[in-house]
Amino acid sequence: MAKKQQQQHQVMQQVPSIGGIRSSFQSLVALLIAILVVATIYIKQSNEQLFQYWTTYDKTITGLSSSCNLFAGKWVFDNRSYPLYKEKECTFMSDQLACEKFGRKDLNYQFWRWQPHQCDLPRFNATALLEKLRNKRLVYVGDSLNRNQWVSMVCLVDSVISPTFKSMHNNGSINIFKAIEYNATIEFYWSPLLVESNSDDPISHRVPDRIVRVQAIEKHARHWTDADYLVFNTYLWWRRRQMKVLWGSFESPEDGVYKAVKLPRVYEMALQTWAQWLEVHVDRNKTQLFFISMSPTHQKANKWGGIKGENCYSETKPVTEEEYVGDGASPRMMRVVDSVLGELKTRGLNVQMINITQLSDYRKEGHPSIYRKHWETITEEQLLNPKNYSDCIHWCLPGVPDVWNELLYAYILEL
DSSP 6-41: HHHHHHHHHSPPHHHHHHHHHHHHHHHHHHHHHHHH
What's the distance, CA 199 to chain centroid?
19
Could you tell me what percent of the chain has a pLDDT over 70? 84
Task: Say which amino acid occupies 411.
Answer: Y
Range of lowest pLDDT (193-202, 279-288, 373-382): 373-382
Say yes or no to pLDDT of 43 above 80.
no
Burial of residue 306 (CB within 10 Å: 0-12, 13-18, 19+) is middle
Q: pLDDT at position 31, please? A: 66
| Residue 165 contacts residue 179 (beta carbons within 8 Å) | yes
Decide: helix, strand or coil at residue 340. Answer: helix
Planar angle of CA 175, 181, 186, nearest 5 degrees: 25
Range of lowest pLDDT (28-37, 56-65, 398-407): 56-65
Q: How far apart are the first and last CA of the chain?
A: 102
Burial of residue 385 (CB within 10 Å: 0-12, 13-18, 19+) is exposed
What's the distance, CA 414 to chain centroid?
25
State whether the Cα torsion 23-24-27-28 is positive or negative: negative
| Residue 115 contacts residue 73 (beta carbons within 8 Å) | yes
Q: At what angle do helices 265-281 and 331-346 cross, to 10 degrees?
A: 30
Task: Say which amino acid occupies 360.
Answer: S
Q: Which of 354, 189, 334 has its CA nearest to residue 267?
A: 334
What's the distance, CA 243 to chain centroid?
20
Residues constituting the chain: 415
Complete DSSP assignment for 122-174: PPP-HHHHHHHTTT-EEEEEESHHHHHHHHHHHHHHHTTS-GGGEEEEEETTE
Place 206 in a pLDDT band, splitting at 50, 70 and 90. Answer: confident
Q: pLDDT at position 60, please? A: 47
Instruction: State pLDDT tens for residues 337-371.
Output: 999 999 999 999 999 999 999 999 999 999 999 99
Dihedral pair phi/psi, residue 13, rounded to 5°: -70, -30
402 Cβ neighbours under 8 A, 6+ residues apart:
83, 84, 124, 152, 156
Distance set, CA 375 to CA 95, 96, 102, 203, 204 (Å): 10, 9, 13, 11, 12
Mean pLDDT, residues 135-145: 98
Task: Say which amino acid occupies 215.
Answer: Q
**Average confidence score pLDDT of the chain:** 89
Which residues are marked as active site?
A: 144, 391, 394
Range of lowest pLDDT (249-258, 295-304, 360-369): 249-258
